[in-house]
A and B are shown apart, each in its own frame.
Chain A
């Protein structure tokens, strides 16, 4: 099992860098001479020293990483604020600069994409966020909303009507089954087949006009 490097060095986790170095040097000095002793004792000391070296470099690498990101949660909060203020480019470059990419990172990235109208990329990032944090409702709800977005702006009934495509279904008359199939405020609400008739008449008119005649004299 890997030991906590701070425990190996015998220091507190919040120790500043210079004190950390001092502690590391002191510990190292303890074993520095012992490693040349013959037999068991020497080998053990050498192993200890290696452990110390590894622990020290681990801590340094870890701190360097964190230094670049600052405190992750505050950065995320900042990015969120930038997105709210509409500064998408700033938010994007801030996200790009981060080394750690937890679920929240993907979530924020997906919002940036979404605001840029890049829906496909947004979906990909959200899916990644969901994968990394399967139990998180914020992410899964957002993904569901995004997937439902395709049909937004219409109630399901209308979406279904529209989905029947360009051809108007002549069997489906408005008001059938006591259920109006369209919002009356909508265009042409309540008159569908009549419209087809009009369109046909206009077509016929156009044809006639092409031949020099006229079917509907007013247009």
Chain B
């Protein structure tokens, strides 16, 4: 979960913009309530989409309320009140972040990563105690991913599989409705996030010599631009087929409310983001809503 799943702002209703922000704040608040202030850093945009998705499928609406928040001290802000689903999402964020940091430590093990992991250790412990099933799934899939990365596997689909399965299983644990379409949606979101992150990290991974699935699949990297141009067809195929599957699955699902926000993300946001990463050859990391 790295914060790539965003709506296309140019086509976003104002009500959905408010909702998006409110949900973000709600998750942040829930994190604070459960784990304290520091783990609030784990909140990201992907989890907002996930939250809206599961709320919708489970038929639980948000209650937006104006509240104060330490990060925005001047005015009260709209935020979604805490509910069991948001609490689960917040715990999920903490666990995912810890495991990502853990993965970094195992990969490179720089002091920076160790320190960061240390900071979240307590929150992770608590989250794992509350939701041991999440912890088990994440640990298992990360182990599978690590094994593939260690073997320098160059099959894009195979390497992205653990992340997709992780999302699919986690979403299944949070919300058991929606059937096959929901599963397919979650799998493909997870897959897409993994791949877009790999695309984003191309240059960095090339420099540091770390594993990157695209570098393993196509070892002829010189610079980002020519690499993307040379393999544009393959890259587009891997990413856009996933987006198409997400779109298709989302269209089949019945949403109770806020369908506009989900539609915006699945039909526009992901495509725009993919396009941006394939076009833009500069640093893409700084994404703001």
Residues of A within 8 A of B (CB): 113, 116-121, 123, 146-147, 149-154, 162-163, 165-166, 168, 186-188, 192, 195-196, 198-199, 202, 209, 212, 214, 219
**Judging by beta carbons under 8 Å apart, are A153 and B267 in contact?**
yes
B243 partner residues in chain A, CB cutoff 8 A: 150
Q: What's the dominant secondary structure at chain B's contact region?
A: helix
**Judging by beta carbons under 8 Å apart, are A121 and B155 in contact?**
yes
Q: Which of A153, A168, A198 contacts B251 (CB 8 A)?
A: A153
**Judging by beta carbons under 8 Å apart, are B244 and A163 in contact?**
no
Verify if B75 is at the interface (C-beta below 8 Å from A). yes
How far apart are the CA atoms of A149 and B18 in the complex, in Å?
Answer: 33
Q: List 4 A-B pairs, minimum CB-CB distance, nearest first.
A: A118-B157, A150-B240, A119-B241, A153-B247
**Judging by beta carbons under 8 Å apart, are B242 and A165 in contact?**
no
Q: A120-B157, A121-B155 are in contact. List 19 more A-B contacts (CB 8 A).
A: A116-B161, A117-B191, A119-B157, A120-B234, A121-B158, A149-B241, A150-B244, A151-B240, A152-B244, A153-B248, A153-B251, A154-B247, A154-B267, A166-B275, A187-B268, A188-B13, A192-B10, A198-B14, A219-B18
**Judging by beta carbons under 8 Å apart, are B17 and A202 in contact?**
yes
**Judging by beta carbons under 8 Å apart, are B238 and A120 in contact?**
yes
State which size class the interface on B falls in. 35 or more
**Judging by beta carbons under 8 Å apart, are A195 and B10 in contact?**
yes
Verify if B245 is at the interface (C-beta below 8 Å from A). yes
Which residue on A lies nearest to B190, using beta carbons? A117
**Shortest distance in angstroms between A174's beta carbon and chain B's nearest beta carbon?**
12
How far apart are the CA atoms of A153 and B237 in the complex, in Å?
Answer: 15
Q: Which of A113, A149, A154, A195 contacts B11 (CB 8 A)?
A: A195
**Judging by beta carbons under 8 Å apart, are A209 and B75 in contact?**
yes
A150 partner residues in chain B, CB cutoff 8 A: 236-237, 240-241, 243-244
A166 partner residues in chain B, CB cutoff 8 A: 8, 10, 272, 275-276
Q: Which of B11, B13, B188, B272 contacts A117 (CB 8 A)?
A: B188
Residues of B within 8 A of A (CB): 8-14, 17-18, 72, 74-75, 78, 155-158, 161, 164, 184, 187-188, 191, 234, 236-238, 240-245, 247-248, 251, 260, 263-264, 267-268, 271-272, 275-276, 279
**Judging by beta carbons under 8 Å apart, are B244 and A153 in contact?**
yes
**Judging by beta carbons under 8 Å apart, are B237 and A123 in contact?**
yes
Among B238, B241, B260, the most chain A Cβ lie within 10 Å of the Cβ of B241
Which residue on B lies nearest to A219, using beta carbons? B18
How far apart are the CA atoms of A190 and B116 in the complex, in Å?
Answer: 47
B9 partner residues in chain A, CB cutoff 8 A: 199
**Judging by beta carbons under 8 Å apart, are B240 and A120 in contact?**
no
**Judging by beta carbons under 8 Å apart, are A152 and B247 in contact?**
yes
Known: A120-B238, A149-B244, A199-B9. A209 touches B268 (CB 8 A): no
**Judging by beta carbons under 8 Å apart, are B275 and A165 in contact?**
yes
A147 partner residues in chain B, CB cutoff 8 A: 237
**Shortest distance in angstroms between B181's beta carbon and chain A's nearest beta carbon?**
13
Which residue on A lies nearest to B276, using beta carbons? A166
Among B10, B18, B158, B268, the most chain A Cβ lie within 10 Å of the Cβ of B10
**Judging by beta carbons under 8 Å apart, are B272 and A165 in contact?**
yes
Known: A119-B242, A163-B275, A165-B275. A187 touches B155 (CB 8 A): no
B275 partner residues in chain A, CB cutoff 8 A: 162-163, 165-166
**Shortest distance in angstroms between A187's beta carbon and chain B's nearest beta carbon?**
5
What are 6 residue pairs bridging A and B, where the CB atoms are less than 8 Å apart in the complex? A117-B245, A150-B240, A152-B248, A153-B251, A162-B272, A214-B75
B251 partner residues in chain A, CB cutoff 8 A: 153
How far apart are the CA atoms of A16 and B248 in the complex, in Å?
Answer: 54
**Judging by beta carbons under 8 Å apart, are A162 and B237 in contact?**
no
**Shortest distance in angstroms between B23's beta carbon and chain A's nearest beta carbon?**
16
Q: Which of A116, A149, A154, A165 contacts B279 (CB 8 A)?
A: A165
**Shortest distance in angstroms between A148's beta carbon and chain B's nearest beta carbon?**
9
Q: Which of A168, A195, A209, A219 contacts B74 (CB 8 A)?
A: A209
Which residue on B lies nearest to A214, using beta carbons? B75
Q: Which of B18, B74, B188, B244 contacts A212 (CB 8 A)?
A: B74
How far apart are the CA atoms of A171 and B243 in the complex, in Å?
Answer: 28
**Judging by beta carbons under 8 Å apart, are A117 and B242 in contact?**
yes
B236 partner residues in chain A, CB cutoff 8 A: 150
**Shortest distance in angstroms between B25's beta carbon and chain A's nearest beta carbon?**
13
A119 partner residues in chain B, CB cutoff 8 A: 157, 237-238, 241-242, 245
**Judging by beta carbons under 8 Å apart, are B276 and A165 in contact?**
yes
B156 partner residues in chain A, CB cutoff 8 A: 120
B13 partner residues in chain A, CB cutoff 8 A: 187-188
A151 partner residues in chain B, CB cutoff 8 A: 240, 244
Among A120, A121, A123, A202, the most chain B Cβ lie within 10 Å of the Cβ of A120
